[in-house]
Amino acid sequence: MKTEAKFIAELEQKAKEQQRLTQTELMPRWARRMGGWLAINPWRVIIPISLIVYSSWRIVGGVGYREFILGLFGGFK
C-alpha cells in the first residue's frame, strides 16, 4: 500500500510530465488557455455566439433565412 506522501509525489511527477507535454505542443498559447477555459463550461460561449450569429443572419437574410433554418430542422408542416 502506498503512503500518502508517495502518492502525492507520483501525482506531482505526472503533472510535471503533462506540463512538459503541453509546452512542446504546436498549439499557440492563447488556444491552450481558451481550450482550458471552454472545457469548464462551453455553453457560456456557444449559446451567446449562436444567438448573435442567428440574429445578425436573420436581420440580413430576413424571412428567407428563417425558412432555410426551419427547413434544416424539419420546418413547420
pLDDT, tens only, 31-56: 877 877 777 888 888 899 999 998 99
SS3 at position 7: helix
Pair (7, 26) in one structural domain: yes
Q: Are 37 and 45 in contact (CB under 8 A)?
A: no
Flag whether pLDDT at 13 surpasses 70.
yes
% of the chain exceeding 70 in pLDDT = 95
Q: How many domains are contained in the chain? A: 2
24: Cβ–Cβ under 8 A, 6 or more apart, which residues?
none
pLDDT reported for residue 76: 67
Pair (1, 18) in one structural domain: yes
Pair (56, 31) in one structural domain: no
Residue of higher predicted confidence among 29 and 8: 8
Mean pLDDT of 14-40: 80
Average pLDDT over the chain, rounded to an integer:
83
Pair (34, 55) in one structural domain: no
Q: What is the pTM of this model?
A: 0.43
Domain of residue 32 covers 1-40
Pair (29, 53) in one structural domain: no
